[in-house]
Amino acid sequence: MYKEIRKPIDYREHVGVSSFTYNSAIPYGEGVSELVDSTILTPAFAEVKSRYGISVNRLNWGEVPASDEKTPYFLLGPINPLLLKDEDKDYIEKLAQVPNAKVNIVTAFPYGMFGDTRDYRQRAESDIPKFDQKLGVNSIFADTTDALYHGIRTVSARDVADNIVCETIRVKYNPIRDKSLRSALEYQQFNHSQEIEQVRAIIEQRRLWHRAPTDGAIVIKVPEGYLVSQTHTDKTNMDSANFSLVSQTKSVDNEVVYEGDKLPSSDSPEFLVAANCLFGSDLPVIGIHYHYNPITRGGHFPEMVTSQVIEYGRFESAEPIQQEFMRRYGQGLEETVLERNGAWLILREHGVIWFGQSVEQFDRFVLKIEEEIAN
């Protein structure tokens, strides 16, 4: 069959990312901002520059740049959102109101501020999302204990780099659109519309997201490849039109061949390659990935947490995901996916990845997990 495959494009040119701005401010004592700058931000900026060509420019605190047609991205921090002064909140809100702007906050907390880690988790899960919503920003969750000996809990360089990519170019792969897949895409969208509606309803009812319902990804195996939710799809307000068809993943060239109106999920490389390697080609598989703090950070399922942080969106990450599944399920994996409540694990500091065969299984899985957390 003749396939019209367009030449790989550099997606970055088409997104219109403008300069990144960075501010180191408030409200810490001497040296903390400099420390976060040198040990976390500077390495993160170097990484996004060398891997993705993204440059970061500094912005003075209080300054609002003139808006242009591109997407401005602002990274602020280190900041403790719970201690901000009103004038600083006003400034952050102004940045968030720049047309199309994305604002990320590198959170940092003095260790011991919350008494124990449980208090910290509760404050972080209730107060910070409220702060984010009010100001229209996204705070990067302070997960790492790397900086603890300096008396602060903050984010890692990897988190910062990932958030920069996620909020701007979004995907780390090179997308190649293949329009000859159009009729297959439309047929499979029609075929799976009911399942997609069922997943949507579960995500909405159970509130399976952390920052926003655009988190996460859904992949459904079809004869031509996979139906994959598109980047930035609101999972509580989606239908099959929000899915693209991925026919091929090429790790060597870092390419994802797809058809659809929008790019398939940024998680496509690792999830699709892992699914392909884990499950026989005739096994129908649905993969659902979501962010849910009570599971990811609640400490209820230590045996399900991956031993390492696995970077999202890269082909290299498929292998550790496969190994983690095999370590837990071994030869019983296909049976678990076919007959039980599906196979799953917790991507450390990230979220849940679940594979099964039907949405009914996923529903049972979510209920079972909820029960276990409640007990």
Footprint of Zn ion (CB under 5 A): 351
Residue 290 CB, shortest distance to Zn ion, in Å, is: 8
The C-alpha atoms of residue 293 and residue 208 are separated, in whole angstroms, by: 9
Residue 289 CB, shortest distance to Zn ion, in Å, is: 6
Residue 352 CB, shortest distance to Zn ion, in Å, is: 9
Nearest to 56 by CA among 11, 106, 10: 106
Residue 217 CB, shortest distance to Zn ion, in Å, is: 7
Query: Smaller CB distance to Zn ion: residue 225 or 351?
Result: 351
Q: Residue with the closest Cβ to Zn ion?
A: 351
Query: Smaller CB distance to Zn ion: residue 212 or 338?
Result: 212
Residue 298 CB, shortest distance to Zn ion, in Å, is: 17
**Phi/psi at 225 (5° precision):** 150, -120
Query: Smaller CB distance to Zn ion: residue 193 or 214?
Result: 214
Query: Smaller CB distance to Zn ion: residue 92 or 310?
Result: 310
Query: Smaller CB distance to Zn ion: residue 109 or 312?
Result: 312
Residue 166 CB, shortest distance to Zn ion, in Å, is: 9
Q: How many CB atoms lie within 10 A of CB 213?
A: 19
Query: Smaller CB distance to Zn ion: residue 78 or 351?
Result: 351
Under 8 Å between Cβ of 22 and 59: yes
Query: Smaller CB distance to Zn ion: residue 18 or 306?
Result: 306
> 3-state SS string over the chain?
CCCCECCCCCCHHHHCEEEEEEECCCCCCCCHHHHHHHHHHHHHHHHHHHHHCCCEEECCCCCCCCCCCCEEEEEEEEECHHHCCHHHHHHHHHHHCCCCCEEEEEEEEECCCCCCHHHHHHHHHHHHHHHHHHHCCEEECCCECCCHHHCEEECCHHHHHHHHHHHCCCCCCEEEEEHHHHHHHHHHHHHCHHHHHHHHHHHHHHCCCCCCCCCCEEEEEECCEEEEEECCCCCCCCCHHHEEEEEEEECCCCEEEEECCCCECCCHHHHHHHHHHHCCCCCCCEEEEECCHHHHCCCCCHHHECCCCCCCCCHHHHHHHHHHHHHHHHHHHHHHHHHCCCEEEEECCCEEEEEECCHHHHHHHHHHHHHHHHC
Residue 149 CB, shortest distance to Zn ion, in Å, is: 29
Residue 141 CB, shortest distance to Zn ion, in Å, is: 13
Q: How many CB atoms lie within 10 A of CB 34?
A: 11
Residue 343 CB, shortest distance to Zn ion, in Å, is: 18
Query: Smaller CB distance to Zn ion: residue 80 or 231?
Result: 231
Residue 184 CB, shortest distance to Zn ion, in Å, is: 27
Query: Smaller CB distance to Zn ion: residue 288 or 343?
Result: 288
Query: Smaller CB distance to Zn ion: residue 200 or 291?
Result: 291
Q: Which residue has the tokens 């498929």?
A: 318
